[in-house]
C-alpha cells in the first residue's frame, strides 16, 4: 500500500548506535496465557483496553484535529526486551518528543509492540502487529498512540532498522542496546476513546488515539519479528460498556 499515511510512516528513521548501555530493569511479570490472574483493574475495571473499533458506525467528530498533534524528535534511547515485546525508552525524559490532546502535552515515555494487533476494526480486521507509543503528562496522565502494521509488498523502513537488532534482545533480561529514535508524524484518520493500559496494572483513564490505516511491512519482516518474539502478546478484547468512540474528520 502506498497511501500518504504509509509513506509518511515508512520515512520514520531509527538510527542506530552500537554502544551498550546499563542493565535491563525487568518489568512487571504477567502471562498472556493466564489473564484471569492479572488482578486489580485488569479484572475489575470497566473501561478497559483493547476494544473493537466499529469504524463503520462510529461518530465523526469534526472538532477533533485532522491529524494527531505530535512533535516527535530524534534522540537517544535504549532498546530492551520488556518480557513480551521490544521496547524503546528515551535516555532523557521527553527525549522523543510530545503528543498534545485537548491542549494537554504528553511526553513519549516508551515505544513497544503487540503481536498480533490488540485493537480490531469492524470486528473482523485484526492486523499483524500494533505499535504503542506511550506518553505521560506532567501530572501523570497517560496517552497512547497506536499504529498498525499489515503484510504487503512494501517493506517498512522503520521496522527494517529495528528488526536487525531484535536477535540481540530476544532473551528476556538481555543487555539493552543504545538507539537513536525518530518517530515520524502520524497522519491520517484515527479513533479517539478513553480506556486503559492493555497490560498490568491496566490503569484506567488512558486517552487512546488509534491510527486506522496500517503501515505496510513484508512477510519477511513479520517473520523476523516473530523469530525473536514468537509468543502472541495481544490481550483479549474488552467490552465498550457505553463508551463513545469518536473518529477524526
At residue 129, φ and ψ (nearest 5 deg) are -150, 145
Residue ranges in 82-121 that form contacts with Zn ion under rule CB under 5 A: none
Q: 136 vs 218, which CB is nearer to Zn ion?
A: 136
Candidates 20-28, 128-136, 151-159, 213-221: pick the segment binding Zn ion (CB under 5 A). 128-136
> How far is Cα 72 from Cα 70, in angstroms, rounded to an integer?
6
In the bound state, the residue with its beta carbon closest to Zn ion is 132
> What is the rounded distance in angstroms from the CA atom of residue 182 to the CA atom of residue 237?
30
Residues 6+ apart with CB under 8 A from 124: none
Q: Choose, by CB under 5 A, the member of 132, 135, 235, 238 that binds Zn ion.
A: 132
Of the pair 87, 213, the CB lying nearest Zn ion is at 87
Q: Which three cell numbers stand for residue 112?
A: 513497544
Rounded CA-CA distance 172/151 in Å is 27
Smaller CB distance to Zn ion: residue 28 or 220? 28
Give the HSE-up count for residue 199: Cα atoms under 13 Å, Cβ half-sphere: 18
Query: Stretches 1-9, 52-60, 132-140, 179-187: which one binds Zn ion (CB under 5 A)?
Result: 132-140
Contact segment (CB under 5 A) with Zn ion among 68-76, 94-102, 131-139, 183-191 equals: 131-139
Stretch that binds Zn ion, among 99-107, 125-133, 172-180, 187-195 (CB under 5 A): 125-133
Nearer residue to Zn ion within complex by CB, 86 or 176: 86
Distance in Å, CB of 164 to Zn ion, minimum: 22
Cα 166 to its chain centre, rounded Å, is 17
> What is the per-residue binding string for Zn ion in 2-41, x denoting contact by CB under 5 A?
----------------------------------------
Q: Least separation, in Å, of the C-beta of 239 and Zn ion? A: 19
Shortest CA distance to 229 belongs to which of 61, 79, 124?
A: 79
Give the up-direction half-sphere exposure of residue 89: CA atoms within 13 A in the CB hemisphere.
Answer: 15
The closest alpha carbon to 96, from 121, 78, 119, belongs to 78
Closest contact distance (angstroms) between CB of 144 and Zn ion is 7
Residue 132 CB, nearest approach to Zn ion (Å): 4
**Stretch (H or E) spanning 219:** helix 219-228
| CA 135/CA 123 separation, integer angstroms | 27
Region from 46-54, 87-95, 129-137, 235-243 binding Zn ion, contact rule CB under 5 A: 129-137
Name the grid cell of 203.
490503569
What's the chain's length in residues? 249
Q: Choose between 132 and 238: whose C-beta lies nearer to Zn ion.
A: 132
Which residues are near Zn ion by CB under 5 A?
Answer: 132
Amino acid at each position: 500500500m502506498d497511501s500518504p499515511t504509509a509513506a509518511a510512516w515508512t520515512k520514520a528513521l531509527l538510527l542506530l548506535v552500537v554502544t551498550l548501555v546499563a542493565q535491563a530493569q525487568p518489568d512487571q511479570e504477567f502471562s498472556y496465557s493466564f489473564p484471569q490472574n492479572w488482578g486489580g483493574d485488569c479484572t475489575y475495571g470497566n473501561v478497559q483496553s483493547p476494544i473493537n473499533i466499529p469504524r463503520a458506525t462510529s461518530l465523526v467528530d469534526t472538532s477533533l484535529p485532522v491529524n494527531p498533534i505530535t512533535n516527535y524528535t530524534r534522540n537517544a534511547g535504549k532498546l530492551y526486551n520488556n518480557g513480551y515485546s521490544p521496547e524503546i525508552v528515551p535516555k532523557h525524559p521527553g527525549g522523543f518528543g510530545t503528543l498534545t490532546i485537548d491542549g494537554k502535552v504528553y511526553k513519549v515515555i516508551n515505544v513497544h509492540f503487540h503481536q498480533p494487533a490488540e485493537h480490531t476494526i469492524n470486528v473482523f480486521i485484526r492486523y499483524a502487529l500494533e505499535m504503542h507509543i506511550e506518553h505521560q503528562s506532567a501530572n501523570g496522565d497517560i496517552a497512547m498512540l497506536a499504529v498498525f502494521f499489515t503484510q504487503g509488498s512494501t517493506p517498512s523502513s522503520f521496522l527494517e532498522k529495528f528488526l536487525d537488532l531484535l536477535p540481540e534482545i530476544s532473551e528476556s533480561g538481555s543487555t539493552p542496546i543504545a538507539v537513536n529514535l525518530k518517530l515520524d508524524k502520524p497522519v491520517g484518520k484515527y479513533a479517539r476513546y478513553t480506556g486503559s493500559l492493555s497490560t498490568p496494572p491496566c490503569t484506567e483513564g488512558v486517552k487512546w488515539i488509534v491510527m486506522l490505516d496500517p503501515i505496510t511491512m513484508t512477510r519477511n519482516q513479520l517473520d523476523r519479528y516473530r523469530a525473536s518474539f514468537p509468543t502472541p502478546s495481544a490481550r483479549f478484547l474488552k467490552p465498550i460498556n457505553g463508551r463513545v468512540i469518536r473518529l477524526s474528520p
